[in-house]
Structure 1
């Protein structure tokens, strides 16, 4: 088989088609995660009430979170927390979250499961596993090869040299303009 830009483009695209679809789909979902976040779903939820500390600054401490987590035997599963506005969210291993209103002490303890297929593709998209990061970097390089080899597939009046460079330039300028105007 002769290796030219057309064959390289085709074969790399064939090899990565599954990951292209998974990353594209999960990327679209991540763009709209404030409206719909299908990575996981709550299969059990209970209303909770906690006693707020006298000093509001102590809400933002790991010790405080672990002390309130003792009630549900979660202190050894603590995995981090954040405060946004009036909401305290504590994360625990095995997809358990505790959301508390920092003014009232009322909230929810939720037990979650990963959504089949969608949740797993989103996990791949967000993974920090070192092997997966290297594989994703190789995938990114493959996408560059697909993009550059694709530039030279069409010949004649619709070739890159005659027409394609204008569309490519517009495609490069669009995100730059977006960053200048909206970032």
Structure 2
């Protein structure tokens, strides 16, 4: 028997090679979803993240950024007809008692001050309305007996304006909703980014060390250096 026949018989009875286990892969549908949600959330977050990042720096160095507030004061006298509307406000009025419409329109026209949503403070002798806003402050006080009006407005500049937007200070319901939606989009952006990191981590060995550093560094700062 020649060697060729022996090799053929041996090959015929040799056990089959063990099959390699199939790697579990994330379905292509979900990969596409991760990419789609990641870029959509990044588009929604773009301007907000730039704004909040820049104002995070300005807030962190607020003491080193000097600003000269501009204060404007005005003194006026109510027309007799409007003074009568104040006299008709019942005793015991509180913050739930609105400013009479005619008086509110006159104040907004004369002082360029928005009174919508403002809670007035009533006393027997005075009506006081606080006018806080992003980047500034203000108030108007009206003597209910003489009709004298004193108005003061403080403007602390554009940096203070954007800092107050960062904090949501006196910025209204619409901006509060924007912050909530922006925060939710940031969560989606971060989570989908983490999932995409996991998908590509095999070909990028530095992925998890960098992610770990992003967790460990803030934790160490909080534990050892923040008091």
State how far apart, in whole Å, the 1-side matches of 2:167 and 2:66 are: 13
Name 1:146's counterpart in structure 2: 189
In the TM superposition, what is the alpha-carbon distance from 1:137 to its structure 2 partner? 3.0
TM-score normalised by structure 1 residue count: 0.53
1:125 has 2:163 as partner? no
1:164 has 2:207 as partner? yes
Q: Tell me the secondary structure at the aligned position of residue 49 of structure 2.
A: helix
In the TM superposition, what is the alpha-carbon distance from 1:124 to its structure 2 partner? 1.4
State how far apart, in whole Å, the 2-side matches of 1:93 and 1:121 are: 14
State how far apart, in whole Å, the 2-side matches of 1:93 and 1:22 are: 22
Name 1:174's counterpart in structure 2: 217
Would the aligned equivalents of 2:55 and 2:163 in 1 still touch at CA under 8 Å? yes
State how far apart, in whole Å, the 1-side matches of 2:61 and 2:216 are: 24
State how far apart, in whole Å, the 2-side matches of 1:93 and 1:143 are: 31
Q: 1:123 to 1:23 in 2, by over 3 A?
A: same
In the TM superposition, what is the alpha-carbon distance from 1:131 to its structure 2 partner? 4.8
TM-score normalised by structure 2 residue count: 0.44
1:26 has 2:49 as partner? no
Would the aligned equivalents of 1:12 and 1:146 in 2 still touch at CA under 8 Å? yes
Name 2:45's counterpart in structure 1: 16
Report the structure, 1 or 2, having the larger strand content.
1
State how far apart, in whole Å, the 2-side matches of 1:35 and 1:170 are: 30
1:113 has 2:140 as partner? no
State how far apart, in whole Å, the 2-side matches of 1:13 and 1:76 are: 45
Larger Rg: 2
Gaps of 5+ in 1: 46-74, 80-91, 96-109
State how far apart, in whole Å, the 2-side matches of 1:173 and 1:134 are: 32
In the TM superposition, what is the alpha-carbon distance from 1:24 to its structure 2 partner? 0.8
Number of corresponding residues: 125
**RMSD across aligned positions (CA):** 3.6
Gaps of 5+ in 2: 1-28, 73-126, 140-151
State how far apart, in whole Å, the 1-side matches of 2:41 and 2:207 are: 22
